[in-house]
Structures are given as C-alpha cells and as structure tokens.
Amino acid sequence: MYNVMVQKGLTVLWYLLSLAPDVMGTSGAIFFGGDCMIIKMCSRCRKTVVYPARYCETCLPVVEAEREAREQEQRRAANRAYNKRRDPKYVQFYKGRQWRMLSARYLQDHGYKCEGCGGLACEVHHMDPIQTESGWLRRFDVSNLKAVCTSCHNDEHDRFRKSKGIKRRY
C-alpha cells in the first residue's frame, strides 16, 4: 500500500507495510536499522528512485550529457559575445604567429617561473599595455614583457576581484 505525501513541492511516496509493527514506525514509513527509506519519482521519466537521488540510473547519464552540452553552448555563446566586443586589431595580434612564438620563447627562457609570485607561469603580460600608443610600438619588445601565472595576470589587470581596494591572491 502507498501513502503519498507532498512536502516542499516534491511528491514523496512512503511505502507502508502492514506486515510487522516492529518494522514500521509511528509514521508508517519503512525503517531499516533506524533509517527511514524515502522513495520519490525520477524528475525525467517518473520511475521511483530512493531519496536523495534525483534521476534513475537510466536517465542520469542522459541528463549529465544534456547538461554538458548546454554548458558548452553557453560557453560558446559567451565567447562569441566577448569576441564581438574585442578590437579586431588586438585579436589579430594575439593570434599572430610572431606573438605566439615570442611569448612561448619568453616563457621558456624564464623557465616558466612567474615573475610575480614564483609559481608556474603560463602567460606573458605586457607591462606597457598594447592598447596605448607607446605599448603598441613596444608590443614585441622583450623588455616590455613579464612571465606571470594566471592569478598574477588577473591581479595585474584588476580582474575577478570581489573588492577592488583589497589585493588578494587566490
């Protein structure tokens, strides 16, 4: 026999047994070693699953694949929107062979060591930004470059900080 209980918008099925009073508690739910077993419906196919699972074993891989595809599409859309805001002159520069070769050689020459914190450097920072006229003229000048890790590079550009007044390392 089933008893349906609606709690916080979820339909929860409690199995009731009329077999032995020592197995059932006062609420009528099944108890196994002091634990209550709650059964609910799969959010996708409506089969029964044991709480706290949201999906059955059949639907879980499908839902995870759909979620991954949705996240990839959201990343692609965000990248497209970001690239539309960027100046094509700088996009072309950073994608160019000369910059890629120079930055790779600079990282290699400096042993992939961050000049900010001493960690593993994976990016090359222009100390004089290329968006300025003097920075654009010095874009391939090695004395204008600095090997940095992602955290230090974000700090240099004041990105992803909750409070702009406090300097933090994540």
Our count of domains for the chain comes to 2
Q: Give the closest residue to 38 by CA, choosing from 25, 29, 46.
A: 29
**Would residue 117 count as lying in a domain?**
yes
For residue 15, give its domain range: 2-41
What is the model's pLDDT at position 31? Answer: 54
For 96, the token pair is 């160019």
Distance CA(33)–CA(68), nearest Å, equals 38
Burial of 55 (0-12, 13-18, 19+ CB in 10 A): middle
The CA-atom distances, in angstroms, between 167 and each of 19, 93, 116, 164 are 66, 30, 13, 7
Helical (H) or strand (E) element with 146: strand 145-148
Which residue, 119, 118, 117, 114, is CA-closest to 148?
114
Q: What is the pLDDT of residue 166?
A: 56
Tokens found for residue 114: 């961050």
In a domain, 149, yes or no: yes
- Record the tokens describing residue 71, joined without a space: 């996240």
* pLDDT reported for residue 1: 41
Classify residue 53: in a domain, yes or no.
Answer: no
Q: Note whether residue 129 is domain-resident.
A: yes
In-domain check, residue 152: yes
In a domain, 150, yes or no: yes
Q: Which of 42, 36, 29, 32 is nearest to 1 (CA)?
A: 29
Specify if 74 maps to a domain: no
Neighbours of 152 (CB within 10 A): 21
pLDDT the model gives residue 34: 58
Rounded CA-CA distance 157/146 in Å is: 13
State both tokens at 126. 């222009």
Number of H helices, E strands in the chain: 5, 8
170 residues of the chain, pLDDT tens digit each: 444 554 444 444 444 433 334 443 333 345 555 567 788 999 999 999 998 899 999 999 999 999 999 999 999 999 999 888 889 999 899 999 999 999 999 999 999 999 999 999 999 999 999 999 999 999 999 999 999 999 999 999 888 877 655 555 54
Residue 16, in any domain of the structure? yes
Q: How confident is the model at residue 7, as a pLDDT?
A: 47
pLDDT of residue 28: 35
Check: CB of residue 32 under 8 Å from CB of residue 23.
no
Question: What is the enclosing helix (H) or strand (E) of 65?
Answer: helix 59-85
